[in-house]
Structure 1
Amino acid sequence: MGTADELMAIERELALGRGDVYARVLHDDAVVVVPGAVLNRPECVAAMDGSPGWDEVDLGEPRLARSACTATVVYTFTGVRGGATYRATLASTYTRDDAGDWRLLVHQQTPQDGPRRHAVPGPSQINLVVADVARSGEFYRDLGWDVGEPVDPHAEIRFDGLSVELDEHSSVAFWNSGSPDDDAAATLLSIHLDSREAVDALWSRMTGLGHESRQRPFDAFFGSRFAVLADPDGHQVGLLSPRSDEHRSDPPQRAPV
């Protein structure tokens, strides 16, 4: 068996995500670089013990680079867990220990997931028709967004690559003659927060300020902590945590009142 085959056999074993395997393979001075973290050996072992494994994995053809005392394999990795797919380029550098066994010295992951390909460009602007720009602006400021000062019943909220614009009913005829007279109906803008606790905290703060709740926080069937607020005109704003397999349920149940 060649060196690349030996190392890829170890990589496939590590892909199972079990802490005991990492404890056996990692060098005492190992450094593991994953999205958002740089881990030493004990931290990596603990992280693997606390993480769910992949449902499916695919390891691409490796490229091998050797020196006198190390060997590095670089390859593409695809992991599937539930409805999520993770793609990355992985690089693992090994060295042999005194017994001649390969020990993982440095591991780095470079995520490859980017925007999905679409037949037309994605949205760069969302216009919300409101009754009172100043009143709606206060709602979104309370939410934590930087709302520009209203100009001619219009205000803008700028993000990287996206603008959310507030327009009073009186101005809509100037740019959309076919706009219906209905209120905000079921339109929903969702904000992705960084934790389940953040969903509850932001919902509690907003409702404590007197803003309307359409859905109290709960563990949704798709694995996220989820809640829905409504702005003064009835536009719905969803608060969404990262998904967790532990909190998924099937079949879906009606959201609690």
Structure 2
Amino acid sequence: MVAVVQVNLIVSDLERSREFYQRLGVEFLPRHRDGDGPAEAWVSVDTGITFVLHSTRFAAWWDENAPQPVPGGPQMDLEVASPREVDRIVDEVRAAGATVVKPPADMPFRMRFAIVLDPDGYRIGLKAPLT
């Protein structure tokens, strides 16, 4: 079983985008790579499915492979049952000819994470909590 758990919006101006969505009634929590400092992403609160505004610099950190994320390029994240399932799915879609943008990796945000492209080029993140 998979569940849509997050949609990532890569934005050119993080604060401008946050202000826009706040005007729509969305509340956010900041996300940082390490510790404090300026937010590098904003995570929606109580929106049903989480969506995250990512600066291009922050997106390039968690997705360092080409093609790089660009403003206006959405990414949907699917959560799967286990880290092993992330690896299995990536192997299966690669064997079927899909492009693997980011091979599975254990990330500092305590998830096994990979990115594949769907047939139209949309980025699909696959993640599972590390146990």
TM-score, structure 1 normalization: 0.24
Greater RCO between the two (CA within 8 Å, min separation 6)? 2
- Structure with higher Rg: it is 1
TM-score, structure 2 normalization: 0.45
